[in-house]
Structures are given as structure tokens and as C-alpha cells.
Amino acid sequence: MRFHYDTSYLDQSRLLRYPRDKLLYGALFGVLALIPFLLPRYYVGEITYLFILSIASLGLMVLTGFTGQVSLGHAAFVAIGAYAHTYLLTLGVPFAVSAFGACSLAALIGFCIGLPAIRVSGLYLAMVTLAFSIVVEHVLGRWTSVTGGYSGLTVPSPVIFGVNLGGLVPFYFLCLTFLAVTVLLLHNLLSDRTGRAFIGVRDSEAAASGLGIWTAGYKVLAFVVSAFVMGLAGVLMAHKVQYLTPEGFGLIQSMEFVLMVVIGGLGSLRGAIFGAVLIGLLPTAISKLKPMLPSVVSGQFGLETFLFGLILALFVLFEPGGINARWIKLKALLQTFPLYRKDTYKRGRTYMKSERYR
């Protein structure tokens, strides 16, 4: 059992509060730092890809997990980040400026897409973002002078202060650094006033505006922050794939992002990373499993899509809180070991949700 013994009002929001946390996160970083030197090159590349997916997943988590706005077109922001960055790099703009410019452009477009979100929500907002994503894909396909159209665009290597970080190991550490910084900044933002306002907008707009929260402003802010982070994922993705085509940022990719945040556990940054790791590893896992399966099954077309759907359905049915909720329960089980009750996390019914107005 752990008892909270706070000696300051800020104790609860401290990042690494207990010595054990420091130890575990230190160990995690130690392992991540050693991976490129221990594992085969293929896996190093795969893990780099997981880092990029995690950044994207965090981006969507800000929007869907914290303000409750669903976006079915978030791959479009990744595309904008990737293409803008590549375009600026080919013009000879330095990496840092170009990356920041690309993220800012994504954020600006996020702002424009956020404006309709003030008026529409739920399914209708999902439609707006879906339409936006289709439009972006077509623009990327047709605007050949900038994007190279469907024939694609080659991405230059990332050169920072004269050092080429395009190699497998340097790029691994570049992505890891960006992921760590993103997690840290988003954690700061979401555990403070802005994050609470996001949750307020998600859970009850009526109460939130009664407390002085400008709901429209925070909805748009969530889109801006989310799009900026997606743009960053796009910047790194461009270097990872090295060759951009519009098909890489289609609806399937957007759906995968949604799956990541839902399966990971809405409303938690940890969940976003869990989700990204699971969804990111799934194709590899399936391809490893395929030879073991009978040919009737493995030969079927669309096995991956089927499994994606199955996993999502199972999570929604049995663990709506996602992997993160499972993680919290597991932690509680270990901490309270013989005393853990199965029903600890069973919630009472929710009261009177009927007459909500907005």
C-alpha cells in the first residue's frame, strides 16, 4: 500500500515523485539508449517509427482525449508537416527553422479547422475533419509544383548545425529526443490550468463556461496544439520514409491514429504512447505470425484490417478505459497485493445525465 504524504501543495503535480519512479524511468531511458547498439538494424528502424507514431498519437490525444473532439482526418496535419518541411528543406532553409515553420503551418491550418468545431461536435465534427483530410490528400496529389504530385517527393537528410543525423542511430536519438520533449511539454500543459480547462470543455460545457472558461477558445486551442504536434510527427516521418507520396497520409492512417488513442486510453498521455506502440507493432507481429498460421487464414486478404477491428471492438467491449486503465489496475494489484479487490474500479451508475444543455 502506498499512502500519500504531501508536504506541499505542489507534491501531487511533481513529475518523478518517488525514488522508485526515478529508478524506473531512469532504467527505461537506459534501455532506450542501449537499444540501437544491441538490436539488429531492422528493429532500430521499427522503434524509431514507433517514436514518431507516439508523437502523432500524443497530438491526437490532446484533442480527442482531453477536449473530447473526434478527428478522423488527423493524418492530414502529419502530411502538411511532412510536405512543408520537405519543401522548405529543398529551398535551403536550415532544419530547425524549417521544422518549426512546418509545425507552425500545421498549427495555423489546425486553427482554421478548429473554427467549425466551435459550432459542431461529435459525429458532425468527425465529418468536417474527414472532408478536410480528403481535400488535403487531393491537394497534395494535384499541386505538383510543390508536392511532386503522385509521383512523389524525395526528402533531404536532416542536417542540424552541419551534422548529418540521417543515419539509423543518430536519427533514432533525434526522434527519441523529440518524443521526450513533447511528452514533457504536454505533461506540463495538461496537468495545469490549460489541461484542466480542456477537461472542463470535454466533460461539461455548461459548467465550464459558468466557471469562466471560454469554451470556444479552448476548443480551437486544442486543435492548434494538436496540429502543431502532428506537424512535428510529420517532420520526422518525412525523414523516416525519405520519399513522400499523398497515399501515405490517407484515411487509413487517420483511422490508425484514432485507434491508438482509443485503445491506449482516452485522457492520458501514457495511454497515447501505449496505443501507438501496440498499433505500430501490430503489422510486424502479424507478419511474424503469418507463417505459423494455416494457409487458409494467412492467405486471406485484409487480415490486418480485420485484426485492427477485432482488437478495437474487444477493447471497447471489455476495457473502455484502454490499455492505460488496465495498467492502473495492474499497478494497484501489485501495490496492494493481497488486499486488492476485483471491484475496486467498478464505478457506480452515473446520475441524471439526461437533461444536459450546452
Partner 1 sequence: MTSLTIDNVSLSFGGVRAVQNLSFDVKAGEVFAIIGPNGAGKTSVFNIITRVFAPSSGRILVDGQDITAVSRHRIVGYGIARTFQNIELFEGATVLENLMLGRHRFAHAGFVHELLGSRKTRRFAAEARAKVEDVIELLELAPHRNSPVAGLPYGVRKVVELARALTTEPKLLLLDEPASGLNPEETHDLAFWIDDIRSDLGITVLMVEHDMSLVSEVADRVLCMNQGQQLALGTATHVQSDPAVVAAYLGT
316 touching partner 1, by CB under 8 A:
no
What burial class does residue 23 get, using C-beta atoms within 10 Å of its C-beta: 0-12 exposed, 13-18 middle, 19+ buried? exposed
Give the C-alpha separation, 79 to 53, whole Å: 13
Question: Closest approach of Cβ 267 to partner 1, in Å?
Answer: 6
Question: Closest approach of Cβ 192 to partner 1, in Å?
Answer: 5
Terminus-to-terminus CA distance in the chain, angstroms?
Answer: 42
**Cβ closest to partner 1, residue 12 vs residue 144:** 12
Q: How many CB atoms lie within 10 A of CB 149?
A: 15
What burial class does residue 256 get, using C-beta atoms within 10 Å of its C-beta: 0-12 exposed, 13-18 middle, 19+ buried? buried
**Cβ closest to partner 1, residue 65 vs residue 280:** 65
Give the C-alpha separation, 310 to 307, whole Å: 5
Give the C-alpha separation, 61 to 49, whole Å: 18
Judged by CB under 8 A, the residue of 125, 155, 176, 199 near partner 1 is 199
Question: Closest approach of Cβ 235 to partner 1, in Å?
Answer: 19
Size of the site for partner 1 (CB under 8 A): 40
Question: Closest approach of Cβ 42 to partner 1, in Å?
Answer: 36
202 touching partner 1, by CB under 8 A:
yes
Which region, judged by CB under 8 A, interacts with partner 1, from 87-95, 185-193, 230-238, 250-258?
A: 185-193
What part of residues 203-262 is at the interface with partner 1 (CB under 8 A)? 203-204, 206-215
7 touching partner 1, by CB under 8 A:
no
C-alpha distances in angstroms, 297 versus 206, 229, 280, 292, 313? 51, 39, 22, 10, 20
Q: How many CB atoms lie within 10 A of CB 328?
A: 16
353 touching partner 1, by CB under 8 A:
yes
What part of residues 264-283 is at the interface with partner 1 (CB under 8 A)? 267
3-state helix, strand, coil in the chain (%, to 5): 75, 0, 25
Which region, judged by CB under 8 A, interacts with partner 1, from 1-9, 79-87, 123-131, 253-261?
A: 1-9
Q: How many CB atoms lie within 10 A of CB 262?
A: 20
Judged by CB under 8 A, the residue of 99, 109, 117, 197 near partner 1 is 197
Could you list the residues that contact partner 1 (CB under 8 A)? 4, 8-10, 12-13, 185, 188-189, 192-194, 196-197, 199-200, 202-204, 206-215, 267, 347-348, 350-357
